[in-house]
Amino acid sequence: MVDKTYTISDLAQEFGITTRTIRFYEEKGLIHPLREGQKRLYNAADRVRIKLILRGKRIGMTLQESVDVIDMYDPSRNNTQQLHSLIDTIARRRAKLIQQKKDIDDMLAGLDEVQELCEKSLGKRRRKT
Amino acid sequence: MVDKTYTISDLAQEFGITTRTIRFYEEKGLIHPLREGQKRLYNAADRVRIKLILRGKRIGMTLQESVDVIDMYDPSRNNTQQLHSLIDTIARRRAKLIQQKKDIDDMLAGLDEVQELCEKSLGKRRRKT
DNA sequence: AATTACGTTGACGCAAACGTAAGCTTGAAT
DNA sequence: ATTCAAGCTTACGTTTGCGTCAACGTAATT
């Protein structure tokens, strides 16, 4: 792949967000697109960061939390101290995610029940007609 | 159970939130505690609603979304029209939840990778000493 | 009587995550 | 030459979800 780039509206369209949102992410230091003249030019890495930020948003993370997670992939941590601290951070994040999965499963189970009641109720009505 | 009731600080403590938060939920119409004189008195149903609201929050739902989900359990929907509409709503919510689970699994997989790299790096260092 | 603990009602404050509008530039198309 | 879409900056506005006083009431304790 020959260093594919994207305009701001390319990415806005792809992800279903506004250009304002993308510029806002830059304002907050979440991405750092290059410039071609005055225009922003996004590369594959920028695109992935946005994708991961949006994934974080979908599960209720703040922008900063998403960035924190993304930055875990950054291998610029070298000393033992930092590595241990990173492992702790990962453990905490993992615990949160597992709780979230449980919450989701609980809610899904609830929806199943409600749906059954709905269908039972509709079934009765059909039988009546 | 003889209609157990709770004070505002009972619930605040149990759920690790502030009394301000609970009053805020009431302000927004999410709960409707009785009054004993001037003081709020919460029953089991109020307590469950708060619990479900907090569960919603953990997976990134807004307060209103949580309430919408909670209200699905309310069996005061009778006509066929409403039941079909409710089934649609459930389907959409279920789809969202399933996407969230996928997002969480993806993120967990990412954390696994990062952790392995961490431990590999720490392992090397131990071998050096 | 005074302190302490817990409760109440305003009311203002605040961070997060954008929306929205104004006004200017720039390159491409008619 | 002009129009038009797409981009830019600046800046104020909005919603959500509480935090944080202030000022007061009530009930039990010392």
For A43-98, what is each residue's pLDDT tens digit?
A: 999 999 999 999 999 999 999 999 999 999 988 877 899 999 999 999 999 999 99
Cβ contacts of B54 within 8 Å, gap of 6 or more: B15, B17
Å separating the CA of residue B120 from the C1' of nucleotide D19: 44
Long-range CB pairs of B42-51 (<8 Å, 24+ gap) are B42/B5, B42/B6, B42/B7, B42/B8, B42/B10, B42/B11, B43/B3, B43/B4, B43/B5, B43/B6, B44/B1, B44/B3, B44/B4, B46/B6, B46/B11, B47/B6, B47/B11, B47/B14, B50/B11, B50/B15, B50/B22, B50/B25, B51/B15
pLDDT for res B2? 65
- What's the CA gap between A109 and A104, in Å, rounded? 9
- What's the CA gap between A32 and A25, in Å, rounded? 9
Residue of higher predicted confidence among B76 and A15: A15
Using the Cβ of B93 and the Cβ atoms of chain A, whether some distance falls under 8 Å is answered with: yes
pLDDT at A125 over 90: no
Query: Domain locations in chain A?
Result: 1-61, 75-129
Contacts of B72 in chain A (CB under 8 A): 110-111, 114
Phi-psi region of A5 (alpha: psi -120 to 50; beta: other; left: phi over 0): beta
For B56-67, what is each residue's pLDDT tens digit?
A: 999 999 999 999
pLDDT for res A69? 98
Q: Does CATH place domain A1-61 in 1.10.1660.10?
A: yes
pLDDT at A104 over 70: yes
Q: Which of A114, A116, A127, A129 to mutate to test the interface with B (most CBs of B within 10 A)?
A: A114
- The helix (run of H) or strand (run of E) holding residue A39 is strand A39-43
Residues 25-84 of B with CB under 7 A from strand D: 28, 37-38, 57, 62-64
Our CA-based measurement puts residue B18 at a distance from the nearest CA of chain A, in whole angstroms, of 21
The three-class DSSP label of residue B63 is helix
Q: Is the CB of B19 under 7 A from strand C?
A: yes
